[in-house]
Amino acid sequence: MNDLTPTREQRTAALEGMGCKRKRVEDIRFTQGRGNYVDDVKLPGMLHGDFVRSPHPHARVKKIDDSEALKVPGVLAVITAETLKTVNLAWMPTLAGDVQMVLADGKVLFQNQEVAFVVATDRYAADDGINKVVVEYEPLPVLVDPFKAMDPDAPVLREDLVGKMSGAHGPRKHDNHIFEWTVGDKELTDAAFNKAEVTIKEMISYHRTHPSPLETCQCVCSFDKIKGELTIYGTFQAPHVIRTVVALIAKLPEHKIHVIAPDIGGGFGNKVGAYPGYICAAVASIVTGKPVKWVEDRIENLTATSFARDYHMTTEVAATKDGKVTGLRVHVLADHGAFDACADPSKWPAGFFNIVTGSYDFPTAHLAVDGVYTNKAPGGVAYRCSFRVTEAAYCIERAMDILAQKLDMDPAELRLKNFIKPEQFPYHSALGWEYDSGDYHTAMRKMMETTGYAALRKEQAEKRAAFARGETRDIMGLGISFFTEIVGAGPSKNCDILGIAMFDSCEIRMHPTGAGIARVGSKSQGQGHETTWAQIIATEIGIPADNIMVEEGNTDTAPYGLGTYGSRSTPVAGAAIAMAARKIKAKAQMIAAYKLEVHEDDLEFDIDGFRVKGLPEKFMSMKDICWAAYNSVPPGMEPGLEAVSYYDPPNMTYPFGAYLCVMDIDVDTGVYKVRRFYALDDCGTRINPMIIEGQVHGGLTEAFAIAMGQEIRYDEVGNVVTGSFMDFFMPTAVETPHWETDFTVTPSPHHPIGAKGVGESPNVGGVPAFSNAVNDAFSFLGSTHIQMPHDFWRNWKAAKDLGAVA
Amino acid sequence: MAKTHVTMKVNGAEVEGLVEPRTLLVHFIRENLQMTGTHIGCETTHCGACTVDIDGMSVKSCTMFAVQAQGSDIITVEGMANADGTLSALQEGFRMMHGLQCGFCTPGMIVRAHRLLKENPLPSEPEIRMGISGNICRCTGYQNIVKAIQYASAKINGVEFQEAAE
């Protein structure tokens, strides 16, 4: 061997496979403004559509007069519910088994609801047209408070459901009731509470918020009358599902619908569902025979597309007096707005909220969730979380702190005492899940050691003493959060959307020169799939990641997949990629055996090719095998080197993490300062550490926003008072704290590469860490729980209510 | 509505167009000039996705009329690469430091950072954070954007870039 022969390390590095901080291939176009987002799509003759929206939260629509609007230069059509009825599209099915008006049909149910769709030659003319549509409303009583939704005298919102006492998820108790979902053993849990030495009970609310990706929801629909084909470019997190939904409701054959999700400017759950804009643009294109673009503005995005959270959780924990938990009882009131359009797998009316037992070994638990209608925007989405896991994690992590306070125990010590132990995995939770793997004690202890937790507690005690002596007006809080997420929806035994099992898919095609293309059913919205998916393939088959092009988002070319949300891409699509690569590798091995004139079993895979066992010089590189696949395959074998895999995971994956927030609050102003934030994540095998760290930073920033101020708020008569970035808190670089990241690695035992997913963990774990820090700061003044969001005013108010401010 | 003739220089080239007086500059750039790197995120001057550089100042083009830009010298993200077409120090910094994810805020962020470094070639971290506070990013949490700008600053000034310890 001469010096030019690459070493094993060099050969491995050349692949830029898993574990490598490979720089993102996407960035070359994004940094030059060469991305291709939906609003960049321009088709010949394209028209623009825009909505007339209701100023009223609840009102009868008496009359819509479009005569003046149609006189506006450039305006071609005004579409109303009456127009849509002619094509049976006035209402559409929701992902949650409800139906939703596409355009106001007889009445409106929330402020800014879509009433009419104006189609014009450009966006300015469309806007002119909107202003000329005259709508006559008769205001109706408004229901804002979900706690009053089931009062006997509450206004009835959904007149279409009056008298229907059975819904998609069982019996309904009231005209404004959507479903009741119960899980767990009620009797056993009640018994645990009856004999408990200690119990806590707290109403823990997780306020309504909004994902608000920087790019709003938008689409371009183009119907070709000659071919009878509809092409839709859109901001879709799940393009294949959108195609199926369109086929089902528009009665177009699925193969004549082409859905293309180009570059997407952030999703965070907001772009999972189907919105009236998509339907109206498609209908408008069919009616006019021209492409129609619909681009939502920011106010529309914040007030009319899917909100998140709005869970009000009455939480009880039973425990022994030395701090062993013995039971959990949670009742949730879920405010779903005007239509139940929540994006959850079909069987789960409240998503995976039954992960609410968290990281703790609860012997028994019981959960009941009631969903209700109110005069608010519909469409609860799992904003940067896996189907209500954020709410569940917040609930249990707050509850554990409240219990620790009651027991006068350190919250870290209480958690360590109740964690599921490493030897208990796979662990069956009291509410029905099987956790795949975990090592919580190691993660927690690493967090405590790295942050100097004991010293921080000591400092806090000193500060409290100084505060009592009147020497400082600052109070210090330590917010611990230890979360277990449930991601990777999902196994067909658990999960489907509209009856379609939630598998995912990958097709890999290797070309003669050793370069190839991978098409995947997932759809990146900034997660860097083009970079990381190639890394999985690089490691699996020994071809450099740079030689693999990854393509997603075109339903004509990508195999059917369920898309990207709920941190499902790596657990599901990532597994499909590895399995497709393994099929390629298996065929490659047969070709190599033929070329090297040995039996396949005599070959071993070695970084970037196959080697004859015991004969190191007899080696065939993967690149050469690719060439051979097209000219000299074994007799009887088909030429070519490609594979498809559809992966139905056997289980979810359960990433976890230990976070600590150190916060100081000035009681006289309520101004807080996040002094430190440490986040340890365990997402199993790490594909690209650089991208994981970036995802953690981003998730923590969104958690910071939600916990510390971001809220979709309604006044008492149903007006949205947080409808722009002026009043909806969006942290800038100035407010955003510095993030410290760390990790442990506990691979998933059932995933082909052991990866669990990470994108949402920091949001799930971050919110309770911030909230616990605020609550911990105030706890010595006698409070047990202060509701989020913890903005300056609320902090000051809390200090005042607790007597710390005169 | 009657249209007005506007002329301006964009990325070094003289351009012209007919616009309604109410046409926003961002629409003129995106629709008339077909340069779609400049993005629209909030339409209220808050998010900065539409930031362009006008006569040496960072401006949110979603709340400025095209007619107000008559005769001005504008740089958009399309004008940010080096003359030979390679990535500029800033663009390279964003890639090297993982200063972007979905890429939607990136053009505005880079255009803003370009002006920031012209005004203050070696900014401190707080100065960078304040300097980009008119630009919102939903994905990155800003930490790596700050590093990207530090990387570019070091490269432009010929000093060694040292990644701050976590």
Average pLDDT of adjacent 10-residue blocks, chain B of 166 residues: 95 97 98 98 96 98 98 98 94 98 98 98 98 98 98 96 68
Query: Would you report the helix, strand and coil content of chain A in percent, each value rounded to 5?
Result: 30, 25, 45
Torsion of CA B37, B38, B39, B43, to 10 degrees: -170
Cβ pair A31:B44 closer than 8 A: no
Strands (E) across A648-778 are located at 656-666, 672-682, 740-743
Contact A789, A666 (CB under 8 A): no
CA distances A187 to A141, A190, A195, A329, A355, Å, are 40, 5, 12, 11, 20
Active site residue A385: yes
pLDDT of residue A3: 67
Contact A372, A150 (CB under 8 A): yes
ipTM of the prediction: 0.98
Answer whether B44 touches A (CB < 8 Å).
yes
The two three-digit tokens of residue A460, written as one number? 């806090």
Contact A301, A184 (CB under 8 A): no
Answer whether B41 touches A (CB < 8 Å).
yes
Contacts of B135 in chain A (CB under 8 A): 732-733
Dist CA A261 CA A253 (whole Å) = 19
pLDDT of residue B20: 96
Contacts of A760 in chain B (CB under 8 A): none
Parallel, antiparallel or unpaired: strands A308-319 and A292-295:
unpaired
What is the sign, positive or negative, of the torsion defined by CA atoms of A129, A132, A136, A139?
positive
DSSP SS3 for A110: coil
Q: What are the beta bridge partners of residue A189?
A: none
Of all residues in chain A, the one with the smallest CA distance to B146 is A733
- Alpha-carbon gap: B159 to the closest alpha carbon of chain A (Å): 23
Active site residue A384: yes
The two three-digit tokens of residue B86, written as one number? 């390679």
The long-range contacts involving B25-33, CB below 8 angstroms and separated by at least 24 positions, are B25/B52, B25/B59, B25/B61, B25/B62, B25/B64, B25/B65, B25/B66, B25/B68, B25/B69, B26/B50, B26/B61, B26/B62, B27/A123, B27/B66, B28/B66, B28/B69, B29/B61, B29/B74, B29/B76, B30/A39, B30/A40, B32/B66
Q: What are the φ and ψ backbone dihedral angles of A664, each rounded to 5 degrees?
A: -115, 135
Contact A541, A535 (CB under 8 A): no
DSSP state of A173: S
Dist CA A581 CA A536 (whole Å) = 8
Question: Of A100, A218, A237, A460, which residue is the catalytic one?
Answer: A237
What is the sign, positive or negative, of the torsion defined by CA atoms of A593, A599, A605, A611?
negative
Q: What are the φ and ψ backbone dihedral angles of A450, each rounded to 5 degrees?
A: -65, -35
pLDDT of residue A528: 97
Instruction: Provide CB contacts within 8 A for A325, sequence distance 6+.
Output: A317, A318, A319, A360, A361, A362, A403, A418
Active site residue A237: yes
CA distances A518 to A41, A111, A342, A574, A585, Å, are 24, 44, 32, 12, 14
Active site residue A675: no
Residue bearing tokens 């939502």 = A296
* CA B48 to chain CA mean position, Å: 8
Q: Which of A690, A700, A57 is nearest to A374 (CA)?
A: A57
Q: Which of A763, A697, A792 is nearest to A206 (CA)?
A: A763
Answer whether B138 touches A (CB < 8 Å).
yes
Cβ pair A33:B36 closer than 8 A: yes
Q: What are the φ and ψ backbone dihedral angles of A202, each rounded to 5 degrees?
A: -150, 145
Contacts of A726 in chain B (CB under 8 A): 44, 46
pLDDT of residue B91: 98
Instruction: Provide CB contacts within 8 A for A7, sequence distance 6+.
Output: none
Dist CA A553 CA A520 (whole Å) = 8
- Alpha-carbon gap: A22 to the closest alpha carbon of chain B (Å): 10
pLDDT of residue A639: 98
Instruction: Provide CB contacts within 8 A for A410, sequence distance 6+.
Output: A404, A457
pLDDT of residue B166: 46
Answer whether B76 touches A (CB < 8 Å).
yes
Instruction: Provide CB contacts within 8 A for A656, sequence distance 6+.
Output: A359, A438, A440, A443, A482, A483, A484, A485, A681, A682, A746, A761
The two three-digit tokens of residue A362, written as one number? 């609860």
The two three-digit tokens of residue A191, written as one number? 């018994």
Instruction: Provide CB contacts within 8 A for A182, sequence distance 6+.
Output: A366, A367, A368, A369
In chain B, residues 82-121 whose CB comes closer than 8 Å to chain A: 87, 91, 94-96, 98, 100-107, 110
3-state secondary structure A179-241: EEEEEECHHHHHHHHHCCCEEEEEEEEEEEECCCCCCCCEEEEEEECCCCEEEEEECCCCHHH
Dist CA B69 CA B73 (whole Å) = 8
CA distances A145 to A101, A151, A714, Å, are 22, 11, 10
Which residue of B28, B110, B142, B146 to mutate against A (max A Cβ within 10 Å)? B142
Answer whether B141 touches A (CB < 8 Å).
yes
Instruction: Provide CB contacts within 8 A for A163, sequence distance 6+.
Output: none
Of A298, A733, A741, the CB nearest to B132: A733
Which residue of A21, A31, A724 to mutate against B (max B Cβ within 10 Å)? A31
Dist CA B58 CA B48 (whole Å) = 10
Contact A21, A689 (CB under 8 A): yes
Dist CA A165 CA A161 (whole Å) = 8
Q: What are the beta bridge partners of residue A517?
A: A509, A549
Which residues of chain A have a pLDDT value below 50? 1
A777-792 burial: b if 16+ Cβ within 10 Å, else e: bbbbbebebbebbbbe
- Which pTM value belongs to this model? 0.97
Sheet with A641-647: strands ordered across: A548-552, A516-520, A504-510, A641-647
Contact A384, A349 (CB under 8 A): no
Contacts of A213 in chain B (CB under 8 A): 102, 104, 138
Question: Of A309, A384, A388, A611, which residue is the catalytic one?
Answer: A384
